[in-house]
Amino acid sequence: MSIIKDVQSGKKPLKRAYVAIFLWFTGRAIQAAAKVDSEVKKEFEKLPEDFTFSLGCLPCGPWMVVGREKGVVKYLGGDSRGRPVQVRLAIKSLDAGFLILSFQESTALATARNRLITDGEIPQALAIIRILDIVEVYLLPKLIASLAVKRYPSWWSFGRKLGGRIGVYTRTLLGI
């Protein structure tokens, strides 16, 4: 009789750390962009007052939770327990998360390839994707951002790009 062993999935500490740091930084950057960029501000204003969304990897994270509290957009950490989440963007696995968050695959392509699962209202999920795209444009150099978004906004003014980038980075690093 052969001995059957349970196969344990690898913990992939480096990938997990990369994804966790990326989500932490992006969460803070969304909070910053909501104060700096008028388009991001408008997108959030159209969402409900207590709107919360999460983005992360199945089956066991890491996650990023962002929500509005009395109209102010805040990064709420990596744990959504005890808080109703209206939209949950779940990446199928840590490997898929690494693929998307290391810009080897855009959000749209990840959705098309069934790697990103949306749980919640589609119009709200679309708003989040538009916000994520803008934040990625601020955070990343053009060459990398072009891989992450469908269309790099080359028509943005130099002032918007530079001013926005400085504002988003400063606020992200300071957490304000």
Partner 1 sequence: MLLPDYYEFCCRVKIVAGHDALEKIPDLLIERGAKKPLVITDKGVAGAGLIDIVSRALGDRVQADLIADDVPPDSDLRVVNRLARLYRDNACDAIIAVGGGSVMDTAKGINIVVSENAEDLMAFSGVGALKRPLKPLVAVPTTAGTGSEVTQVAVIKDHEKHLKMAFGSYFLLPDISILDSRMTLTMPPFITAMTGMDAMSHAVEAYYCLQKNPLSDAHALSAVGMIYRHLPLVVKNPDDREGRLAMAVAACLAGIAFSNSMVGLVHNLGHATGSVCGVPHGLCMAILLPYGLEYNLHKMADVMAELLLPMAGEQVYLATPAEQRAQKVVSLIRGLNEDLHAITGGRHARCLQEIKDREGKPSVPRDVLPQIAAAALLDGASIYNPEDTDYEDNLMVLEAAWEGKPLDRSRVKKG
Minimum distance of partner 1 from residue 129's CB (angstroms): 7
**Residue 151 binds partner 1, judged by CB under 8 A:** yes
Give least dist CB 157 to partner 1, A. 14
Task: Assign residue 130 a region (left: φ > 0; alpha: ψ between -120 and 50; beta: otherwise).
Answer: alpha
Reported residue count of the chain is 176
- Residue 155 touches partner 1, criterion: CB under 8 A: yes
Nearer to partner 1, 106 or 172 (CB): 106
Q: For residue 68, is it left (φ>0), alpha (ψ between -120 and 50) or beta? A: beta
Rounded to a whole number of angstroms, the minimum distance from the CB of residue 50 to partner 1 is 20
Q: Please give the single-letter amino acid code of residue 148.
A: A
Q: Scanning residues 80 to 139, which ones bind partner 1 (CB under 8 A)?
A: 108-109, 111-115, 119, 122-123, 125-126, 129, 133
Separation in Å, CA 5 to CA 8, 12, 59, 73, 130: 9, 20, 21, 47, 45
The residues binding partner 1 (CB under 8 A) are 108-109, 111-115, 119, 122-123, 125-126, 129, 133, 146, 149-155
